[in-house]
Amino acid sequence: MAKFCMQAEAVMNNSKPAYLIASSILPEGHASLQAYAQAAQPVFQAHGAEVLMVGTSAQEIEKLEGSWPDTDARLSLIRFPSMQHLKDCFSSEAYKAIKHLRTDIIETNFTVAVD
């Protein structure tokens, strides 16, 4: 039901959802990302984000085609109501202030925005 409501809202607002797709390198024994997760949650929620999948060390990636750069790479997927919501979130002062809680601990493989 929530998915339908989000899609209906996007149609009424003439916008479509956008997705933040991020791959990070999570080497065995890396420091905890709990502080980042706790700080990021309200920032993402303020921009209407819905976390669909969070890359963790337990996540299994099965490559079907192409190349996957690192066996420690994991994938996260976050849906926003629109590309503008995603861009506003990622460029917000609130997010910039906490981003280091992630980047100081792990390496980003890639981050892309798709609508």
Q: How many CB atoms lie within 10 A of CB 95?
A: 17
Question: H or E segment at 100?
Answer: helix 100-103
CA proximity to 25, closest of 106, 81, 96: 106
**Residue in the structure block whose two tokens are 């969070």:** 54
Question: H or E segment at 12?
Answer: helix 2-12
CB 47 within 8 A of CB 80: yes
Q: Report the predicted TM-score, pTM, of the whole model to 2 decimal places.
A: 0.81
Q: Which CATH number is correct for 15-59+70-114, 3.40.50.2300, 3.30.479.30, 3.40.50.300, 3.30.70.100?
A: 3.30.70.100
In order along the chain (115 residues), what is the average pLDDT of each group of 10 residues? 49 79 91 95 97 90 87 93 96 98 92 92
Residues whose CB is less than 8 angstroms from the CB of residue 72 and which lie 6 or more positions away in sequence, other chains included: 25, 26, 27, 28
pLDDT of res. 21: 95
Strand partners, 107: 25
pLDDT of res. 4: 44
pLDDT of res. 9: 53
The domain segmentation of the chain, as residue ranges, is 15-59+70-114
